[in-house]
Structure 1
Amino acid sequence: MKIQGRLFIWLSVFILATAVVYGVWSKEPVGTTALFLAFGLSVMIGFYLAFTARRMDALAQDNKEADVADEAGEVGFFAPHSWQPFSLAVGGALGFLGVAVGWWLLYFSLPLILIGLWGWVFEFYRGENQNQ
């Protein structure tokens, strides 16, 4: 994780330099603001990764002499399948479309978002994936 933290910190330095040069040359406020916001996001991610890396044990990716097989093993638990992200995606797309087309679309998107969110949170409490 130390490597990822350093990568994001260096990326933030590059984005900051790009934002300053872009702002001076173009005098266009929207792109300049977007680049400064990207700089802030990159700093936050880099600081979080660097801060977390100090509190964790060294991983194989932090060792220059490590092999690929050193990180082998269980990565974590992942849901086998779920339709809930699709419901959230359709509801979110309709919601964002409602901002452009008309606010009345939010009446159709909000139930889809709530159903998808509710189903995703409680999908392991019912059905075939229910924990015993």
Structure 2
Amino acid sequence: MKIQGKMFIWLSVFMLAMAITYGVWSKEPAGTTALFLGFGLSVMIGFYLAFTARRVDAMAQDNKEADVADEAGEVGFFSPHSWQPLSLAIGGALAFMGVIFGWWLLYFSLPVVLIGLFGWVFEYYRGENRTQ
């Protein structure tokens, strides 16, 4: 994590220099604002990674002599197949179509979104994926 933190800090320095240079030369506010926002995001990510790297043990990516297999192991928990994101996508599409065609369409999209949302949140409390 130390390496990634340094990379983002250096990226933020570069973004700041480019934002100032672009702002002075172009006098265009939208691009200058976007570059300053990119600078802010890079600083936040770099600070978080550098701060977290101090609190955790050194990882294989911090060792210059490490192999790819040194970081092998359990990556985390990933959900099995789920139909709930499809329900949320259909409900979201209906909601955005309601903005285009008429607000009345939101009355039909809200139940679909709520069913998908509650189904996704409580997916592990019932059925075959139930946790003990």
TM over 0.5: yes
Q: In structure 2, what is the equivalent of residue 42 of structure 1?
A: 42
Q: In structure 1, what is the equivalent of residue 20 of structure 2?
A: 20
1:64 match: secondary structure: coil
Q: Distance in 2 between matches of 1:97 and 1:13?
A: 42
Q: Distance in 2 between matches of 1:25 and 1:106?
A: 47
Q: In structure 1, what is the equivalent of residue 9 of structure 2?
A: 9
Q: Trace 1:60-79 onto structure 2 (pairs within 5 A).
A: 60-79=60-79
Q: Distance in 1 between matches of 2:20 and 2:109?
A: 39
Q: Trace 1:77-88 onto structure 2 (pairs within 5 A).
A: 77-88=77-88
Q: Distance in 2 between matches of 1:13 and 1:98?
A: 44
Change (3 A) 1:131 1:108: same
Instruction: State the 1:118 CA deviation.
Output: 2.3
Change (3 A) 1:52 1:102: farther
Unaligned runs of 5+ in 2: none
Q: Distance in 1 between matches of 2:53 and 2:21?
A: 32
Which stretch of the first structure deviates more once superposed, 9-18 or 112-121? Answer: 112-121
Change (3 A) 1:110 1:36: farther
Unaligned runs of 5+ in 1: none
Identity rate, percent: 82
Structure number, greater radius of gyration: 2
Change (3 A) 1:3 1:130: same
Q: Distance in 2 between matches of 1:126 and 1:72?
A: 33
Q: Superposition RMSD on alpha carbons, in Å?
A: 2.4
Q: Distance in 1 between matches of 2:102 and 2:16?
A: 36
Q: Distance in 2 between matches of 1:27 and 1:82?
A: 49
